[in-house]
């Protein structure tokens, strides 16, 4: 039998965290469910922000399971650490990843600190990932058993102390089995649709979110290669490397579509090319990453690893070469498409997540 712990369960109002709480309750742990109140659409950003319904669903699940429920207000910290990071990144021409940062800074940062201050030994979430104790007393993090739902990528910037206090009760389950458990328990979230929105903001279009907070900064759309101007854009922050839709320039007479291949800050030029394998800047064999974070010991020597270049992409072979200043040089076995500055590279040894970094 596992040691009985006092655990704070982050209840988002979705089925995954609901079943996480259910399983921990069945295992005999002392639980309190907490909804993180991070964003209430206070600025009337266009989009669906269902925080009120999510709170009610989370509260109802806590009642059904028979645990105490609290709403933890982290709005100020979320605005400072996630929203500002998001806006600053886009304003500088980057493509930030708020979900990865939300896990590091909020769920296993601010909420973890709040939990420890209130006598909890751990924070549990509904992530599809597996945490295992190693023989040396440290913890390792592995992909979720359901490869279609694996969320280890979003945990790539956690450190050992955060993983020590984390619990992932559903990481061993396939999603259909998880929903079956929820239905058998009669949980109100059993058939609730999975959220596809920004971490704890809701299903808001990123372009609408940015339009509300980042001023337009028009510039030319330039065809890479010949330097010809073929249009105008409203701001580089609305575009990301590899984007095909919504660029604002039509396909050619052969039906070939343009794709974003770069951004030029000095004249705010958006660089585009036809979507071919040889489009300049679209594919990269080598990249540098910064702000490296390691779950265990840092990589001090060149290593052959695998990496997930973005969520839902399969892992690919690579060679990692450590550099000074918490940076690294990455050489992929095959060129990778549209590696946008500011996004996250997750690094693995087999199914074990070892860390991650941010594309330069």
CA 234 from centroid of its chain's CA atoms: 27
Strand 122-124 to strand 6-10: parallel, antiparallel, or no bridges (unpaired)?
A: parallel
Helix (H) or strand (E) holding 233: strand 228-233
Cα 132-169-77 angle, rounded to 5 deg? 95
3-state SS assignment for residue 94: coil
10, with CB counted inside 10 A (0-12, 13-18, 19+), is buried
**Chain CA centroid to CA 178, Å:** 21
> Which residues, in sequence order, are CB contacts of 70 under 8 Å at separation 6+?
32, 33, 34, 35
Q: What are the residues facing 319 on neighbouring strands?
A: 304, 331
Active site residues: 102, 199
**Strand 258-264 relative to strand 352-359: parallel, antiparallel, unpaired?**
unpaired
Contacts of 254 (CB under 8 A, 6+ apart): none
How long a stretch of residues is the chain? 360
């Amino acid at each position: 039998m596992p040691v009985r712990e006092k655990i704070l369960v982050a209840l988002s109002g979705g089925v995954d965290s609901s079943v996480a709480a259910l399983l921990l309750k069945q295992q005999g742990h002392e639980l309190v469910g907490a909804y993180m109140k991070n964003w209430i659409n206070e600025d009337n950003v266009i989009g669906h922000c269902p925080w009120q319904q999510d709170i009610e669903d989370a509260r109802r699940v806590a009642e059904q399971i028979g645990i105490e429920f609290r709403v933890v207000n982290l709005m100020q910290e979320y605005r400072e650490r996630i929203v500002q990071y998001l806006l600053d990144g886009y304003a500088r021409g980057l493509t930030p990843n708020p979900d990865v940062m939300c896990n590091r800074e909020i769920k296993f940062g601010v909420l973890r600190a709040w939990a420890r201050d209130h006598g909890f030994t751990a924070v549990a979430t509904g992530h599809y990932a597996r945490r295992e104790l190693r023989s040396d007393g440290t913890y390792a993090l592995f992909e979720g058993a359901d490869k279609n739902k694996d969320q280890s990528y979003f945990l790539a910037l956690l450190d050992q102390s955060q993983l020590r206090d984390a619990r992932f009760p559903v990481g061993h389950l396939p999603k259909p089995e998880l929903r079956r458990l929820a239905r058998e328990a009669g949980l109100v979230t059993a058939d609730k649709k999975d959220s596809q929105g920004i971490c704890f903001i809701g299903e808001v279009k990123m372009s609408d979110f940015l339009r509300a907070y980042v001023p337009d900064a028009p510039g030319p759309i330039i065809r890479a290669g010949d330097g010809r101007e073929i249009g105008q854009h409203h701001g580089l922050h609305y575009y990301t490397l590899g984007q095909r839709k919504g660029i604002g320039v039509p396909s050619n007479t052969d039906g070939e579509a343009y794709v974003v291949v770069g951004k030029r800050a000095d004249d705010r030029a958006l660089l585009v090319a036809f979507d071919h394998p040889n489009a300049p800047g679209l594919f990269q064999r080598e990249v540098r990453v910064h702000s490296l974070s390691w779950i265990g010991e840092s990589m001090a020597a060149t290593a052959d690893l695998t990496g997930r270049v973005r969520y839902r992409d399969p892992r690919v072979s690579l060679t990692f070469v450590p550099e000074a200043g918490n940076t690294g040089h990455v050489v992929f076995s095959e060129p990778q498409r549209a590696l946008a500055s500011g996004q996250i590279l997750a690094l693995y040894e087999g199914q074990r997540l070892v860390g991650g970094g941010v594309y330069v």
